[in-house]
Amino acid sequence: MKVLFISPHYPDEMQDFTRGLAEAGAQIYGIGDTPRSSLPAKVQKHLRDYLQIPGLFDEEDALRRIVAAGRALQVDRVECLWEPCVVLAARVREALGVPGMSSDTALGFRDKPIMKERVMAAGLRVPKFFRVRTAAEAFAAAEEIGYPVIVKPVAGAGTADTFRADNPDELRGVLGAVGHHSEMNLEEFIDGEEFTYDTVCLDGTPVFESVAQYHPKPLEGRNHEWITPAQIVFRDPYQPGLRAGIELGRGVLKALGMGTGFTHMEWFKKPSGEVVFGEIAARSPGAKLVDQMNYANDFDIYREWARTVCWGSFDARPHRRYHVAALFKRATGQGRIRRIEGMTEIRARLGDSLVVEDLLAIGTPRRDWKQTLLSDGYMILRHPDYRECMARMEYAINKLRIYAG
């Protein structure tokens, strides 16, 4: 099984997906714009070969080069889990005639207005939305929807360039901040708790499902540096309070024509209990959610995904033993990390429920908290009991202090 894997090293979790492909028996041919010598060693050792191209964002040039390489290699699969290149990968598949998601289907997972049109056509609840290209269109759309509104890129990922506007003056400021985008998605603000619905699918059927909740909602965490963003993967995604979200997610997968691969969806649960679709991507989630799934189930989803896309088989049985929380800590102050407090107490309180601690070392420059959720360090912990898992997460959030200067 020859697999052409676009961007086998970035984002960082792709390194484990590359490992998963190798462990599933694939011969991996990497494609990217990074020199091979700069690839992490854990990626290089799994690659049969690697083609560096000038860039991945000149789509037509990248398409020509990747198709030529794929034909020469006679590849069996083309995979990509980095969202900006999902449509490119689909176009390569079509040109090579190999199995996998089509470019039209990929567009439905990438272009937010098209996505929402297709989901709405299936009778599922989506926020009111408009595609806007000018300020006049934006103000007209906001008046039609009613404030507050959310403005986000048509083909964005995460919360990058995503803003809330509560009135026309705020909208004017937001439009100035996103002026580098030629078009935006302007939609209804949904007041509710925010969750994920993550799957590995085989021929359109979810063979693995996971649900997580954000604490607080991502947009709040992105706008306030003092907040410690956190998220919890539920031990049992089929519990009554989450069931409507899973049913919504399954309907979305059907509406968008999902085939085989990873998906990451976000959805809202309003105080009334109504569930509302947010958005979905044909890729794995970031922000350590995949690792949390592994710790929740004591298996290797990286390898199971690879087996699914290569051989059409998902053999693992999720144990679903733990709720798993991750928290992302931001330092107080600017510059370099000078002091870390609270870890002795956290280790004593959490014991072996603390499964990952990855904090920046003393003397390391702070990360840009607006550019990476990982912030200045993160921890992952797990526990079979939900309330205890949440209590331990809150304890770690409150006890850990990182200082920069």
pLDDT in tens, 180-201: 888 888 999 999 999 999 999 9
306 and 341 housed in the same domain: yes
Task: Domain count for the chain, please give it.
Answer: 3
Q: To the nearest whole number, what is the mean pLDDT of the chain?
A: 94
At residue 178 the predicted structure's pLDDT band, cuts being 50, 70 and 90, is: confident
Closest alpha carbon to 91 in 52, 132, 58, 60: 60
At residue 158 the predicted structure's pLDDT band, cuts being 50, 70 and 90, is: low
Question: By CB neighbour count within 10 A (0-12 exposed, 13-18 middle, 19+ buried), where does 352 fall?
Answer: exposed
201 and 175 housed in the same domain: no
184 and 142 housed in the same domain: yes
Residue 106 lies in a domain: no
Q: Where are the beta strands (DSSP E) in 216-251?
A: 230-233
Single out the residue in 188, 212, 237 at which a domain terminates: 188
Residue 279 lies in a domain: yes
253 and 159 housed in the same domain: no
- Per-residue CA distances from 189 to 124, 126, 149, 269 (Å): 17, 11, 5, 13
Question: Residue 81 is part of a domain; what is its CATH number?
Answer: 3.40.50.20
At residue 372 the predicted structure's pLDDT band, cuts being 50, 70 and 90, is: confident
DSSP 37: G
Return the pLDDT at 37: 94
Return the pLDDT at 326: 98
247 and 381 housed in the same domain: yes
243 and 372 housed in the same domain: yes
Residue 334 lies in a domain: yes
Closest alpha carbon to 54 in 43, 38, 65, 46: 65
132 and 68 housed in the same domain: no
- H or E element that contains 295: helix 289-297
180 and 74 housed in the same domain: no
Q: Once rounded to an integer, what is the mean pLDDT over residues 207-211?
A: 97
Domain range for 27: 2-100
Single out the residue in 150, 165, 188 at which a domain terminates: 188
pLDDT above 70 (res 9): yes
Return the pLDDT at 101: 97
92 and 230 housed in the same domain: no
Higher pLDDT: 10 or 373? It is: 10
Single out the residue in 139, 159, 188 at which a domain terminates: 188
pLDDT above 80 (res 285): yes
Residue 250 lies in a domain: yes
pLDDT above 70 (res 141): yes
Residue 174 lies in a domain: yes
Question: Residue 337 is part of a domain; what is its CATH number?
Answer: 3.30.470.20
pTM of the model: 0.94
139 and 45 housed in the same domain: no
Closest alpha carbon to 294 in 260, 266, 320: 320
Residue 376 lies in a domain: yes
Residue 43 lies in a domain: yes
Residue 109 lies in a domain: no
CB 187 within 8 A of CB 205: no
213 and 164 housed in the same domain: no
96 and 171 housed in the same domain: no
pLDDT above 80 (res 160): no
